[in-house]
Amino acid sequence: MAFSIIQSAQLTGLGAAGVTVETDISRGLYLFQIVGLADKAVEESRERVISALRNSVGKNPKSEHHKVVVSLSPAELKKEGSYFDIAIAIGYLCATGTLVFDSSNKVFVGEVGLNGDVRLVRGILSIAQWAKESGVQELFIPQGNEQEATLVDGITFFLVPTLALLVDHLNGKHRLKTVSPFVRMSTEHEGIDFAEVKGQLVAKRALTIAAGGGHNIVLYGPPGTGKTMLAKAFHGILPALSNEQFLEVATIYSSIGLIDDVMDGNPPLRSPHHSASHIAVIGGGSKIRPGDITLAHHGVLYLDEFPEFDKRVIEALREPLEEGSITVARARGSVRFPAQFILLAAMNPCPCGYRGSNVKPCICSAAELARYSKKLSGPIMDRIDLWVSVQHIEYESLHETEVVKESNQVRQQVKNLHDKQYCRANKLNSAMTSQEVHSKSRLTISAKNLLQQFAKKIKLSPRAYLRMIKVARTIADLDNSETVEERHILEALQYRPKLD
């Protein structure tokens, strides 16, 4: 009888892939079949579409004496989710002649309910970016995905509340609402302020350095000394994401349906519990999805009780800490996820927590200490730039009541450091390559000699040696010094691990 072609798309990893929905209708016994390597959710779309057509448009495919075959191409691409419901419904109406319109440069994405309501789907931001790159002019999406659509310009988004209104729009009887561009508003950090943490000046200084250069940091010390408070305050001194970074982060969160969590434009903060599984932290699963390290992209990954995490999880951090990305490979395929984050970890110096403390004696045996120290391997410790001891403070300081906002001032200081580093190398100090470290760090002769002297004495690995220079470069930037002096090297050396 008739044939139609409608364009749709689906989420694939963190990207999107176009899918052509072809509908062929011929006379014969009733049949409504979907082909094209479809998963269970796509196969079930047949029943959703039939009910939606009957209840909202008054068209019942089951009452017609014809055979309907819907093909989703390319056939070798696994079709997943409910992205194609709208396209299948529109394709059927076009093939039967109920709907006539120019479908070129139009893409339809969304799930339909049994009553014809259109429901939101995950990953619209990725689909919108694919559509823009593919030259698509009009993208029809669920009304519930409006917030994500505002982040992409250069394409017209039509918000579809119901299937009936979409049909009226395509027939020229109704005009669907379009999307206005999103305007980012700077929001003040509402978490713990730096000033609320009493004392701990050394730790605050180290956290400022870590934020200023994007360095990984570990806070260690007895229980109750403020490690968790410092970690929460750390997120508040990071400047807002740039437009490019914001779009990257929003794309990641859109893929799992959590776009609302990052619309404030602040760097993301992820703090998984130490009982979290390898898949939850690293990513993967039967349907490969990003883990916490990817959700912390351009933000902070906070690991409290660091050594208590599964050893497999800790060791899996090697690649993202070095490369800024992680490749998750499974039998059905592999996906490369971005994972450029600041690792902020907190831990006790021993199982009882009081090793090196002047408050309580350590009661751990030598075997317990040895077993605890082996939980963090040398390669992982080598990738962490700053190790900071957080000790007990005087009780008198806890009674100080006057609190002056400090995080806003430190955040501006950190932003100035970032601007300086991007002007120098177009990246933060922690991301510099070995060649850039030598060409852009500008060590004085005396500073270089001092570093080499200590490197031989404490047997630094080449990786740790280069990371030491990066930290010293950040300290010099914080000191408004064009060159790295001896004092900057000496301060950087203070942050080497002292857990042995």
State what percent of residues in the chain have pLDDT above 70. 95
| Structural domains of the chain in order of their starting residue, each with its CATH number | 2-178 (3.30.230.10), 194-406 (3.40.50.300), 432-500 (1.10.8.60)
Residue 32 reports pLDDT greater than 70: yes
What's the pTM? 0.91
Per residue in 376-405, pLDDT tens?
998 999 999 999 998 877 665 665 655 567
Instruction: Place 353 in a pLDDT band, splitting at 50, 70 and 90.
Output: confident
Per residue in 186-241, pLDDT tens?
556 667 888 788 778 899 999 999 999 999 999 998 888 888 889 889 999 999 99
HEC states along the chain?
CEEEEEEEEEEECCEEEEEEEEEEEEECCCEEEEECCECHHHHHHHHHHHHHHHHHHCCCHHHCCEEEEEEEECCCCCECCCCCHHHHHHHHHHHCCCCCCCCCCEEECCEECCCCEEECCCCHHHHHHHHHHCCCCEEEEEHHHHHHHCCCCCCEEEEECEHHHHHHHHCCCCCCEECCCCCCCCCCCCCCCHHHCCCCHHHHHHHHHHHHHCCCEEEECCCCCCHHHHHHHHHCCCCCCCHHHHHHHHHHHHCCCCHHHHCCCCCCEECCCCCCCHHHHHEECCCCEECHHHHCCCCEEEEECHHHCCHHHHHHCHHHHHHCEEEEEECCEEEEEECCCEEEEEECCCCCCCCCCCCCCCCCCHHHHHHHHCCCCHHHHHCCCEEEECCCCCHHHHHCCCCCCCHHHHHHHHHHHHHHHHHHHCCCHHHCCHHHHHHHCCECHHHHHHHHHHHHHHCCCHHHHHHHHHHHHHHHHHCCCCCECHHHHHHHHHCCCCCC
Residue 333 reports pLDDT greater than 80: no
